Chains A and B, each alone.
Chain A
Amino acid sequence: MKRQFRFGIGITVILAAIIYFAIAGFQEGKAYYRTIDEVHALDPGADERLRVAGIVKPGSIVREGPTVAFTLAQDTTHTLAVHYAGSQPVPDTFKDGAEAIVEGYRKPDGSFEADHIQAKCASKYEAQYSKEAQHPSNVPMYGGSTDSTAASGY
């Protein structure tokens, strides 16, 4: 009994340390998924990390060195001005009409400062399939699989 208790202490200490690191890391890295209309409805003082998805509005991309400013659109009425200046280059899939996910903070003026960006290439097949995957008959071009841009082999 005593032996088991002694090992119990060691295990508890290790697990407690890991949980501590988990909570600290979570506080630092957590990001809330928000739609663009939700971002605009946020309390201006709120200082939480956000993750916002949308379509890159065609013609809105302005590059300056490795940074980029563009408009992210949820639909025709809800848009968000985004400025990206993260450490990683803008992905190659980032272009007009691409589906993009940005992570960062909302600035007091309502625009968005992103430090992380992901883009999924909305090529001719992908764009149609992402919305109409359930209705293959709606696809006007020749078909193809739904994961036509699988960037990995599995």
Chain B
Amino acid sequence: MADFGNLSLALALSFCAYALFALFFGAKSGRRELVKSGERSVYLVFGFVTLSVIALETLLMKSDFSIEYVAGYSNRDLPFFYKLASLWGGQKGSLLFWSWILTGYAALVAFRNRQYAGKLIPYTLGVLTLTSAFFLIVNKFGANPFERLVIDHGDGIKHAFTPQDGKGLNPLLQHPAMVIHPPMLYLGYIGFVVPFAFCMGALLTRELGASWIRMARRWTLTAWLFLGTGILLGGRWAYVELGWGGYWAWDPVENASLMPWLTGTAFLHSVIVQERKNMLKVWNVVLILATYMLAIFGTFLTRSGIVSSVHAFAQSTIGDYFVVFLIAMGGFATYLVLTRLEFLKSDNQLDSYASREASFLFNNLVLLAACFAVLWGTLFPVISELIQDEKVSVGAPFFNKINVPIGLFLLFLTGVGPLLAWRKTSYESMRRIFLWPTLAGVVCGIACLAGGIRSLAALMSFSISAFVLTTLVTEFGRATRLRMRNTRENVARALFEITATNKRRYGGYIVHLGFLILLVGFTGQAFTTEGWGETQVGDKFTIGKYDFECLNIEDISDPNYSGMRATLTVSKNGKVIDTLAPEKRFYPASEQATSEVRMHHTLREDVYVVFSNTNEKTGAAIMQVWINPLVQWVWVGGFVMAFGTLLTLVPNRKDRELARRKRSIEQLLKDTEAAAVVR
């Protein structure tokens, strides 16, 4: 089975090489047949990588511990679902998974554009295949998951060796969110390769208008959706599984996933300016290039171990492959941009601060600043060592100090930008649009101040949220009223219809609403209360407004782990509201302890209880408790953002109708031609 997997990898790589030749040479020399065979090889590459993935999954299912990867990331007692997930539980398997998704995307691009006759798609597929080839080379030669386990008995000869049982998947990864978080993140990271490939295709063919952007739009949105969902799922996993009371720690691995999301967000916004005003062409090319590089760099960062992280990945040699590839791709793309500057000239100029272009400009500016700050902060230990010969880390205060004001400014822009006119907004219409939202913001700010909130960031966050919420409501309200007047539909029907006829606009508003809810959730962090209690059975302790009583402390066991469980009642104002049973577990296969957090959720706040440890002398359990306000809003905001994005992905009814008519006309033409030939 391992040989089969290896063979498939080798075949995939050979077809990659052929596809590269056929696509680039075929498109350049205009040989349609060659391009077609190149496209077919793109499907074949995906097919062979799929076979490799099946081979590795089969080895995992059969618990074939003669394979190093299987022995390292699986064990006999591991549940089926987690055996499946072991594919992306370690470095080598996850890189194979990377290739699989990437070649899958390439095949999908080929399939969706199979009728396309121009040069853009062959070049786009060529760039996708080039990136696939790189990852397949890493799979085959740098980090091959099919390698057999060998051992040296001291005689200098490597003997094959099959252990009795595997080391098992890291227990922290044995969580449902962890099964879907990496694939989501991967789909996102890798998804950005597609718009990048479109961009490179446009540069190579010099077709640098808005057509590549229109063709790449859905791909970009899809990648953005997956990446964002993946990041939030990661946060959720950290929150419910790691037991330190939070969901984001500015860890290098988290930062690595945030950076392409930030540049991707900037790209999604600035392409609108290119579509509408033919401006910012160079800028968009640079943005998607940066996003692509950051996505590959993110994989490199999480896989090479150059920055230490709680995601305890270790040193490995595949870092060299990535450095070479990044430099080569970056150099190639830069060369293309520089030689095609004349095709990238802007047709328009910025006129006024009170214009939609300007709000896009500032949106891009701060998103890029945030990305740069995160990159700088993440790499600071490496940079400072190179420059000053002294290793210095920057810590969470650095990231928070920069990103809190940037987040607030972005939130403000989501309220202002969509309502401003292109080119210039007159003073009168500004007053008309923003009078009520501004009042709402001020009133909310005063109310919060009166309610005892003293944190400046929190005050600003709530008051800007009120401002933006009012703009969104008035936008929906205005369009709905107009439609009701014209069509005599009821409110719900009219609201549905306006959204359905312009999904791009109203879907975008819903994404903004989600972002608003997300930031309200983040703001809750300013009001976290924490404490601890040392408790025997029957003891009581109080943290914040909550009283806890320990009902029971017991030993627990399971084939996979053993440990302790404490059962506590939680009461507020003398009334019992919940019973929580946090656990401390020990997993023998991987020699690791984990804390099973238990929570009481409300929209207002979470009560988060961790079984910290036991007092060795008295046997008392030590409970750590967090009262985390508004955390649920983070997940709700994420849902709303995802929903809004999905909505913008669905084609408008009008466009679908147009496409249908176009197809039927084409069919009619074909039929007439055929009839003419017969005659």
* CB proximity of B592 to chain A, nearest CB, Å: 6
Q: Is the CB of A153 within 8 A of B182?
A: yes
| Residues 352-382 of B at the A interface (beta carbon under 8 Å) | 353, 358, 361-362, 365-366, 369, 373, 376, 381
CB within 8 Å for A22 and B373 given contacts A151-B170, A151-B311, A153-B178: yes
Residues of B within 8 A of A30 (CB): 392-395, 398
* CB proximity of B82 to chain A, nearest CB, Å: 11
Q: Is the CB of A66 within 8 A of B532?
A: yes
Q: Is the CB of B152 within 8 A of A137?
A: yes
Is A123's CB within 8 Å of the partner chain B? yes
* CB proximity of B426 to chain A, nearest CB, Å: 18
Q: Is the CB of A121 within 8 A of B592?
A: yes
Residues of B within 8 A of A137 (CB): 152, 156, 158
Complex formed: what's the CA distance from A91 to B85 in Å? Answer: 25
Q: Is the CB of A29 within 8 A of B396?
A: yes
Of A17, A26, A143, which one neighbours B68 at CB under 8 angstroms? A143
Of B185, B244, B361, which one neighbours A88 at CB under 8 angstroms? B244
Q: Is the CB of B366 within 8 A of A14?
A: yes
Residues of A within 8 A of B369 (CB): 14-15, 18
Q: Is the CB of A33 within 8 A of B181?
A: no
The interface stretch among A3-11, A39-47, A75-83, A106-114 is A3-11
Q: Is the CB of B391 within 8 A of A32?
A: yes
Complex formed: what's the CA distance from A139 to B154 in Å? Answer: 10
Residues of A within 8 A of B358 (CB): 7
CB within 8 Å for A152 and B72 given contacts A3-B351, A65-B532, A143-B151: no
Of B85, B91, B349, B392, which one neighbours A33 at CB under 8 angstroms? B392
Q: Is the CB of A118 within 8 A of B310?
A: yes
Complex formed: what's the CA distance from A154 to B182 in Å? Answer: 7
Residues of B within 8 A of A88 (CB): 244-245
Complex formed: what's the CA distance from A99 to B405 in Å? Answer: 36
Residues of A within 8 A of B612 (CB): 66, 89-90
Q: Is the CB of B392 within 8 A of A144?
A: no
Q: Is the CB of B350 within 8 A of A3?
A: yes
Is B490's CB within 8 Å of the partner chain A? no
Residues of A within 8 A of B253 (CB): 152, 154
Complex formed: what's the CA distance from A90 to B92 in Å? Answer: 31
Q: Is the CB of B615 within 8 A of A63?
A: yes
Residues of A within 8 A of B68 (CB): 143-145
Q: Which residue of B lies closest to A144 (CB)?
A: B72
Complex formed: what's the CA distance from A17 to B373 in Å? Answer: 13
Q: Is the CB of A66 within 8 A of B161?
A: no
Is B88's CB within 8 Å of the partner chain A? yes
Is B545's CB within 8 Å of the partner chain A? no
Of A15, A145, A152, which one neighbours B311 at CB under 8 angstroms? A152
CB within 8 Å for A151 and B173 given contacts A14-B365, A142-B149: yes
Residues of B within 8 A of A152 (CB): 173, 182, 234, 253, 302, 311, 313
Is B590's CB within 8 Å of the partner chain A? yes
* CB proximity of B126 to chain A, nearest CB, Å: 27
Residues of B within 8 A of A138 (CB): 152
Count A-side interface residues using an 8 Å CB cutoff.
63
Q: Is the CB of B312 within 8 A of A29?
A: no
Is A149's CB within 8 Å of the partner chain B? yes
CB within 8 Å for A145 and B401 given contacts A15-B369, A92-B594, A154-B182: no
Q: Binary interface profile of A, 109-148, with partner B (CB < 8 Å = 1, else 0)?
A: 0000000001011011110011001001111001111111
Q: Is the CB of B590 within 8 A of A123?
A: yes
Residues of B within 8 A of A3 (CB): 349-351
Q: Size class of B's contact patch?
A: 35 or more
Of A6, A7, A22, A101, which one neighbours B361 at CB under 8 angstroms? A7
Of B186, B315, B361, which one neighbours A154 at CB under 8 angstroms? B186
Residues of B within 8 A of A24 (CB): 401
Is B243's CB within 8 Å of the partner chain A? yes
Is A60's CB within 8 Å of the partner chain B? no
Q: Is the CB of A17 within 8 A of B405?
A: yes
Residues of B within 8 A of A4 (CB): 350
Q: Is the CB of A33 within 8 A of B622?
A: no
Q: Binary interface profile of B, 534-566, with partner A (CB < 8 Å = 1, else 0)?
A: 100000000000000000000000000000000
Q: Is the CB of A65 within 8 A of B622?
A: yes
Complex formed: what's the CA distance from A11 to B368 in Å? Answer: 12
Q: Is the CB of B401 within 8 A of A87?
A: no
Residues of A within 8 A of B376 (CB): 22
Complex formed: what's the CA distance from A129 to B316 in Å? Answer: 11
Residues of B within 8 A of A149 (CB): 170, 312, 314, 590, 592
Residues of B within 8 A of A51 (CB): 393
| Residues 379-403 of B at the A interface (beta carbon under 8 Å) | 381, 390-402
Residues of A within 8 A of B244 (CB): 88-89, 91
Q: Is the CB of B402 within 8 A of A154?
A: no
Residues of A within 8 A of B312 (CB): 120-121, 126, 147, 149-151
Q: Is the CB of B402 within 8 A of A22?
A: yes
* CB proximity of A60 to chain B, nearest CB, Å: 14
Complex formed: what's the CA distance from A31 to B398 in Å? Answer: 11
Complex formed: what's the CA distance from A30 to B182 in Å? Answer: 31
User: A residues near B, CB below 8 A?
Assistant: 3-4, 6-7, 10-11, 14-15, 17-18, 21-22, 24-26, 28-33, 49, 51, 63, 65-66, 87-93, 95, 101, 103, 118, 120-121, 123-126, 129-130, 133, 136-139, 142-154
Given contacts A22-B373, A63-B622, A89-B612, 8 further A-B contacts (CB under 8 A): A18-B366, A133-B314, A143-B68, A143-B150, A151-B173, A152-B253, A153-B88, A153-B94
User: B residues near A, CB below 8 A?
Assistant: 68-69, 71-73, 85, 88-92, 94, 149-152, 156, 158, 161, 163, 167, 170, 172-173, 178, 181-182, 185-186, 234, 243-245, 253, 299, 302-303, 305, 308, 310-316, 349-351, 353, 358, 361-362, 365-366, 369, 373, 376, 381, 390-402, 405-406, 409, 530, 532, 534, 590-595, 610, 612-613, 615-616, 622, 624
